[in-house]
Structure 1
Amino acid sequence: MRVVVIGAGLGGLAVARRLRHDGHDVTVVERQEAPGGRAYRLRDAGYTWDTGPSLVTMPWVLEEAFAAGGLDLRSEVTMRRLDPMYRIRWAGDERHFDFADDVGRLEAEVARFSPRDARRVRPFLDGLEPVYRSVILDAGRRPFLRAGDFARLVPRMARLGVLPPLHAYVARAFRHPRVREAFSFHSLFIGGDPFRVPALYAALVYLQVADGGWYVDGGVYALVEALARDLDLRCGEPVEAIEWSGERATGVRLAGGGRIAADVVISNADVLRTPALLGRPAPRRRLRPTMSCFLVYMGTRRRWPGLLHHTLLVGPGYRSFIRDVTRRGVVPRTFSTYVHAPSRTEAAMAAPGGDSLAVLLPTPNLRGGTDWTAAADEVRDALVADMERSYGLHGLAADVVVEHRMTPLDFERRLGAEWGNAFSIEPTLGQSAYFRVPNRDRRIRNLYFVGGGTHPGAGIPGVLLGAAITGDLVAADAAAAPRRRVPAGAR
């Protein structure tokens, strides 16, 4: 069976490897000059940065994805468990919070802020265990192709108390505002506002404690390289259209004028762009994209002891900050950022004695109307000044040897992300499971989807679990009904 995968992100590569290992003829076409999608790599002057995801959780999902593609994860890459996973620092507060995967140490960290809240850590985690097992894992391993699939899940979520907003759920367990922030911010890693997404995302805390946080030597891009190795991968070839007739996709048309015929088309492109690729009008019910990000990749001539491998720098007005970037559409006046410093774990990621820092600031997507061609310099300078002033990184601006940036415009132009979104579709209850883009199109039976915009969602585990669902659907559909073969010369 001839399969064409649009997009060489982690989801596209994982499903391509899986189907090729099953004996299918698979071609992956990618608009950028190298595979990776959002999980790209940048190198300059002895410094290396992952431009996208950087924290690996649920490592067994990686093991399953590699095994399904005929690879052994531990033979392909070197993984290191991070201890602690990350540090949270608050502007104006000398205390920090080190998030470890050991419950006793987690209790000790909470006790520094509230002894009462420390006693609530184990009951909180115990309450999340069934959410993780019976909702996150169960729902994350099967497709939601019919409304009834979701309807049967809702009562279970209601019984577990995870339908209300995430922050409200956490606030019922903990009183101290710092502790509440430490246990509720995780949905931001997949583009979700903790004051609006359902509390089921509290299970992100549980899975980190259960399975730890990991680093891959060479960065997340080492996973991309392993999955992409020896695939039929055509980079620098954007897809202009998915061709279809009746209820069948027949292939893809490339921007350069070429065409690839197919029995099956799998799209790892931004799902919000699918109607345009199909030549369809935009749907009446338009899914809402996530926020975007402004990223600064800095190579510095020295290391910064105030930063761990992963550090969150939380500024004043945390809730207002999130509302600005997710709802109001304005660049916030105060900054809350995530900093990745991989040379803490792997010295080779930076020039000798230096740091490779990736600084991520959540921002509104392009619907907010910010002119990033004019605003980027101002935002960058204010961001670096805030890191110096509020977190003790004095001299950072003068210490930068090499620097690159990524704005919402780059998400739109380079990645084809609608409105420059950073995490595809917002993971609200009304945009989850059945209400997300399905793993198989509801009208075109041999058109499938992978990536952060389809079920189960964004993040490395999410897209890899989604790739397994999509791969299983392709295999089941192929077994259920013989498909017309593409003639050998139809390329």
Structure 2
Amino acid sequence: MMNPNRPSERVIIVGAGVGGLAAAIVLAARGLDVELFERAPTPGGKLREAAVGTARIDAGPTVFTMRWVFEELFAAAGTSLDAELALTPAQMLARHAWSQDQRLDLFADLQRSADAIGQFAGAREARGFLRFSADARNIFTTLKDSFITNSRTTPAGLMQRVGLGGLGGLINIKPYSKLWPVLGSYFKDPRLRQLFGRYATYCGSSPFLSPATLMLVAHVEQEGVWLVEGGMHQLAQTMARVASRLGVRLHYSAPVAEILIEHGRAAGIRLDSGATHQADAVVMNADTAALGAGLFGSQAARATPATPPQARSLSALTWSLVAETTDFPLVRHTVFFSRDYPAEFRDLLQRQRLPHEPTVYICAQDRSDHDTGTPPPSGPERLLCLVNAPATGDHHDFTPAEINACAERTFALLARCGLQVRQQPEWTQITSPTQFNQMFPASGGALYGRASHGWMASFSRPGARSKLPGLYLAGGTTHPGPGLPMATLSGRLAAASLLADRPSTSRSRPTATSGGTSTR
């Protein structure tokens, strides 16, 4: 039996997503004995690659933002981001199309984007964009230290930290207003409301139900987007390499069956193979829906509530393919919009079906982020094509007929906007919510945890400390939310909470992790 009062010196981490890897790096850098177990054969979690023939295609997150999060993490490990990973700043954030002759590019340079919007929709809309961007910056600045990087996530705590009278400060970050109508105060052009409303889908949510606080996503992109040499999966490989260099023992193809409980606290794990490994603390970097559903043991299920199906974020239907394209100037990130945005979300959330006409995102991974410089591929190229889907993969089997019908509508929309994609079945890998649920059990295929619907949604995500002593939570389904930098921050918060809870340090609770993440 382990001593329940023993300091947490040996830590087991479950899951090698970026949250688990970040926690491993911070804890190992502080001298703890860290062992990590991952059910997949490679690190990354949702930051995954698809193998299509001999091609490797990023099939998860495709945008690298909030560079400072990773700079601080690597500094805590005694190295630097630049020394470990090759990054190039993007000049263009994305190209957007509504039809063959309606296109708008947004750029890393704010004024250049405003000028493009002015040419596209008029001077009033350009002024609205600058007001929108200023407000998005203010929201992000207000929440960065008070909420995003903070482990205390209650409304009362946020009100106190925001200041300006608490409630007044909260009103300034627009939590009580829906994103869609607020966008109407900046943009009269419905296409621009659609474009900036799409930021809600970055956390798997609807712009018609999400708080206007999500405007901050626009500022995150405007602060900088980077291209990762070798593909996004290199980030996971690099973090795993740094963790290993610090002494973390990484085990792949090692699924965990149970969190072991002794003396009322987490005390280790049991693998599917039957082998047990004891520890003083466990960091769970898996979808919290799986934990709450009892997939890591009935005793551990009380650590966090189960996620109700109606609270799930969106899933996706993706095509990872190698194909020839013609007639449209793709850049690295291109979005093709549906003609009826409200109908698209009614299909997704009310009817819980694939949209009749979906908005389509394409990451052209052999393309530059702008028209000049690297010439377009002369033959087949690597593409990730994604549409939003309902998170019903645990009880609805997305049949080939259903997927084919959606594919026909998807590629017809692309053709209407001028893009012809010559795909071949043998060079195409399709992933539906059914497969996403198999990869991330109990989620229904939801890729972002809980949906950000309503002002309390952000407070409904579990924090770093679970209800079970000795068990800490990390990953995109926990606070502060989905996306690579947020999931990475969650790992740092989990590590900081674990370190703060060690009896040897409880009298002088640290105020920050190495790298500056506040825990106050």
Asked whether the two chains share a fold, i.e. TM above 0.5, the reply is yes
Structure 2 residue 391 is the aligned partner of structure 1 residue 403 = no
1:195-244: per-residue Cα shift (whole Å, max 9, x none)? 111111101112222x2211101111111001111241111111111111
**Alignment correspondent of 1:22:** 30
CA gap 1:427/1:103 in 2 versus in 1, 3 angstroms: same
**Alignment correspondent of 1:250:** 267
**Alignment correspondent of 1:215:** 227
Q: Which of 342, 347, 356 in structure 2 is aligned with 1:324?
A: 347
CA gap 1:375/1:36 in 2 versus in 1, 3 angstroms: farther
**Alignment correspondent of 1:391:** 417
**Alignment correspondent of 1:101:** 108
**Alignment correspondent of 1:73:** 81
Q: How does 1:137-176 map to 2 (within 5 A)?
A: 137-144=145-152, 148-150=156-158, 152=160, 155=167, 156-176=169-189
- In structure 2, C-alpha distance between the alignment counterparts of 1:395 and 1:3, rounded to whole Å: 48
CA gap 1:170/1:263 in 2 versus in 1, 3 angstroms: same
Structure 1 residue 151, shift from structure 2 partner: 5.1
- In structure 2, C-alpha distance between the alignment counterparts of 1:57 and 1:284, rounded to whole Å: 30
CA gap 1:137/1:47 in 2 versus in 1, 3 angstroms: farther
Kindly indicate whether the alpha-carbon contact (under 8 Å) linking 1:328 and 1:368 is maintained by their aligned counterparts in 2: no
Amino acid in structure 1 at the alignment position of 2:228:
V
Kindly indicate whether the alpha-carbon contact (under 8 Å) linking 1:432 and 1:455 is maintained by their aligned counterparts in 2: no
**Alignment correspondent of 1:366:** 392
Amino acid in structure 2 at the alignment position of 1:13:
L
Structure 1 residue 471, shift from structure 2 partner: 1.4
Kindly indicate whether the alpha-carbon contact (under 8 Å) linking 1:162 and 1:169 is maintained by their aligned counterparts in 2: no
Q: Which runs of 5+ in 2 are unaligned?
A: 1-8, 508-520
CA gap 1:22/1:322 in 2 versus in 1, 3 angstroms: same
- In structure 2, C-alpha distance between the alignment counterparts of 1:137 and 1:342, rounded to whole Å: 34
- In structure 1, C-alpha distance between the alignment counterparts of 2:72 and 2:501, rounded to whole Å: 22
Structure 2 residue 48 is the aligned partner of structure 1 residue 40 = yes
Structure 2 residue 459 is the aligned partner of structure 1 residue 447 = no
Kindly indicate whether the alpha-carbon contact (under 8 Å) linking 1:45 and 1:351 is maintained by their aligned counterparts in 2: no
Cα RMSD of the aligned pairs, angstroms, is: 2.6
1:348-373: per-residue Cα shift (whole Å, max 9, x none)? 9x997431000011111116954214
CA gap 1:132/1:123 in 2 versus in 1, 3 angstroms: same
CA gap 1:376/1:218 in 2 versus in 1, 3 angstroms: farther
**Alignment correspondent of 1:487:** none
SS at match of 1:471: helix
- In structure 2, C-alpha distance between the alignment counterparts of 1:278 and 1:246, rounded to whole Å: 16
Q: Which deviates the most, 240-249 or 373-382?
A: 373-382
Structure 1 residue 303, shift from structure 2 partner: 6.7
1:64-118: per-residue Cα shift (whole Å, max 9, x none)? 122223331111111111221111111x351211111212211122212132111
Q: How does 1:138-287 map to 2 (within 5 A)?
A: 138-144=146-152, 148-150=156-158, 152=160, 155=167, 156-209=169-222, 211-229=223-241, 230=244, 231-275=248-292, 276=294, 277-279=296-298, 280=301, 283=305, 286=308
Kindly indicate whether the alpha-carbon contact (under 8 Å) linking 1:192 and 1:426 is maintained by their aligned counterparts in 2: yes
TM-score by length of 2: 0.85
**Alignment correspondent of 1:5:** 13
- In structure 2, C-alpha distance between the alignment counterparts of 1:165 and 1:146, rounded to whole Å: 21
Amino acid in structure 1 at the alignment position of 2:451:
E
- In structure 1, C-alpha distance between the alignment counterparts of 2:276 and 2:421, rounded to whole Å: 53
Amino acid in structure 2 at the alignment position of 1:127:
D
**Alignment correspondent of 1:126:** 134
Q: Which of 444, 447, 458 in structure 2 is aligned with 1:419?
A: 444
CA gap 1:127/1:330 in 2 versus in 1, 3 angstroms: same
Q: Give % identity.
A: 25
Number of matched pairs: 477
Kindly indicate whether the alpha-carbon contact (under 8 Å) linking 2:93 and 2:225 is maintained by their aligned counterparts in 1: yes
Q: How does 1:461-476 map to 2 (within 5 A)?
A: 461-476=485-500
Structure 1 residue 311, shift from structure 2 partner: 0.5
Structure 2 residue 321 is the aligned partner of structure 1 residue 298 = yes
Kindly indicate whether the alpha-carbon contact (under 8 Å) linking 1:296 and 1:403 is maintained by their aligned counterparts in 2: yes
- In structure 1, C-alpha distance between the alignment counterparts of 2:208 and 2:457, rounded to whole Å: 16
Structure 1 residue 2, shift from structure 2 partner: 0.8
- In structure 2, C-alpha distance between the alignment counterparts of 1:236 and 1:368, rounded to whole Å: 23
- In structure 2, C-alpha distance between the alignment counterparts of 1:269 and 1:38, rounded to whole Å: 10
